[in-house]
């Protein structure tokens, strides 16, 4: 299992539209609006890091309004 936390910036005025589309993505287990440097944070849980890359590149970054992402991956102790 791979866990990623994706910080997302969007164009002003597109926050709600991007949120509404991302919340429907089954791989995103949690999604929250933020105040500050980033607009949204998504917790993505998938089977491996290849699938995590696919979600970020093809389901998140391609959405109209998304301008930037930063993905933080989980680690095991």
CATH for 2-73 (2.60.40.1930, 3.30.460.80, 3.30.70.920, 3.30.420.40): 3.30.70.920
Mean pLDDT, residues 37-64? 97
Q: What is the pLDDT of residue 74?
A: 77
pLDDT at 41: 98
Q: What is the pTM of this model?
A: 0.93
DSSP helix/strand/coil, 63: coil
Task: Give the pLDDT score at 30.
Answer: 98
In which band, very low, low, confident or very high, does the pLDDT at 42 lie, cut at 50, 70 and 90?
very high
Nearest to 40 by CA among 4, 72, 69: 69
With CA atoms as reference, report the closest residue to 44 among 20, 26, 18. 26
Closest by Cα among 1, 68, 7 to 43: 7
């Amino acid at each position: 299992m791979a866990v990623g936390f994706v910080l997302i910036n969007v164009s002003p005025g597109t926050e709600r539209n991007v949120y509404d589309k991302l919340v429907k993505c089954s791989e995103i287990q949690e999604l929250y609006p933020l105040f500050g440097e980033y607009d949204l944070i998504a917790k993505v849980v998938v089977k491996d890091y290849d699938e995590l890359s696919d979600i970020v590149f093809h389901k998140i970054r391609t959405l109209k309004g998304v301008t930037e992402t930063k993905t933080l991956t989980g680690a095991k102790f």
